Amino acid sequence: MKQPAQPSEAKRETGMDDKPWYRQFWPWFLMALPGSVVIAGLTTVYIAFNGADTLVNDNYYRDGLAINQSFEQDHLATAMGLSAELRLDSGSGELFVTLMGADVNASHLALQLLHPTDGTRDRDLSMSLMSPNHYRVDLERNLRHRYYLRLVPLPEQEWRLSGEINFSDSQQVTLLAR
């Protein structure tokens, strides 16, 4: 006749262990899977709110009306035969614009430097008249990125010239009516 097994032998034969549940591997493994999904979801929400896209404009209707105005500015610049040469003197930190075509009687020009992906790098510069059709502005720091350029006279903003430059590759660009 077979003798009854000792309690420790019975646990070994049935695969049972005398450790409490919180010292077992499988409960923690099974809880870690949904826990990691919750952590990944909270991380995604944090990134979404702190890395919001600043390029999206909520006032699309006003911007749509401004597009029609900019077409008129481009047509006027084309009718006047305007173009401009923009040149960066990286040694002195000055930016020069020479207008070609018609004589412009503006005492200042507004030059917008629009970064394609980072709105914090956008810059609005007011260029002063040096001599007829020659303008300049001092830069606070050197430019190194790619920018879309818009040039308009102040205060009327009746015409507009546009262009694109990567200051890492080039120091000069021609601005045209688009």
- 78-110 tens-digit pLDDT: 888 888 999 988 888 888 999 988 777 788 899
pLDDT digits 0-9 by tens, 157-178: 788 899 999 988 888 898 888 7
- What is the structure's pLDDT at 53? 66
pTM for this predicted structure: 0.62
**Mean pLDDT of all residues belonging to the chain:** 82
Of 120, 131, 119, 173, which Cα lies nearest the Cα of 150? 173
pLDDT of 82: 87
CA-closest candidate to residue 110, choices 163, 167, 157, 71: 157
Question: Which residues, at least 6 apart from 136, have a Cβ–Cβ distance to it below 8 Å?
Answer: 94, 95, 96, 97, 127, 128, 130
Least confident of 6-10, 28-32, 72-76: 6-10
How do the domains of the chain map onto residue ranges? 82-175
pLDDT at 49: 87
In angstroms, the CA 78 to CA 56 distance is: 30
CATH topology of domain 82-175: Immunoglobulin-like (2.60.40)
pLDDT confidence of residue 40: 97
pLDDT given for residue 155 in this prediction: 78
What's the pLDDT score for residue 37?
97
Give tens-digit pLDDT for 16-40.
Answer: 678 899 999 999 999 999 999 999 9
Quote the pLDDT of residue 81.
Answer: 87
Most confident range, picked from 12-21, 65-74, 107-116 = 107-116
